[in-house]
Amino acid sequence: MEFRKYDRTYYVRIDKGEEIVSSLLELCRLEKIGSAVYSGIGGCNKAEIQTFSPETGAFETRELSGMLELVAFNGNIICDDDGELYHHTHAVFAFNNNGVHGTAGGHIRSVTVLYTAEIELRPVIGGVIRRKPDPETGTGFWELG
């Protein structure tokens, strides 16, 4: 991973073999960023995408592999009262499956870079967005109070 900060925005290049979400969390720890939003594109080769099922109360996970064009990637990072960071990321991938072009997307658990990922990360200015636990999903939502 390599990054540069211009004004208040970070421009991040994530390299072959690196995992995108953990790299962004690492950057936030390194730069002491408590909350941020991000978006990006890239070329990847492995992704774990999830969809929450209200019927089961759990996330269903699907693994993708091969040449995956990361055509939309966005999310946020927030922290709990102890400063632990959490991400909420969604993405859409385009791919070729036996000559048929397809797409898949959802909540992202992890994404590994094949060629590069180019991410713009914008820290929250003037405050920190905290995490409010949600017992129904087992995750957390923005606490804006």
Q: Is the pLDDT higher at 75 or at 145?
A: 75
- 82: domain CATH number is 3.30.1330.80
User: What are the DSSP E strand ranges found in 2-129?
Assistant: 2-6, 9-15, 36-53, 58-79, 85-97, 100-123
Domain of 112, in residue numbers: 2-143
Q: Is the pLDDT higher at 54 or at 24?
A: 24
DSSP of 112-126: EEEEEEEEEEEEPSS
The predicted structure's pLDDT at residue 58: 85
If one counts the domains in the chain, the total is 1
Residue 11 has pLDDT above 90, yes or no: yes
- Each residue of 79-111: pLDDT tens digit? 998 999 999 999 999 999 889 999 999 999 999
Q: For the chain, what is the mean pLDDT?
A: 95
The pLDDT confidence band at residue 119, using thresholds 50, 70 and 90, is very high
Residue 133 has pLDDT above 90, yes or no: no
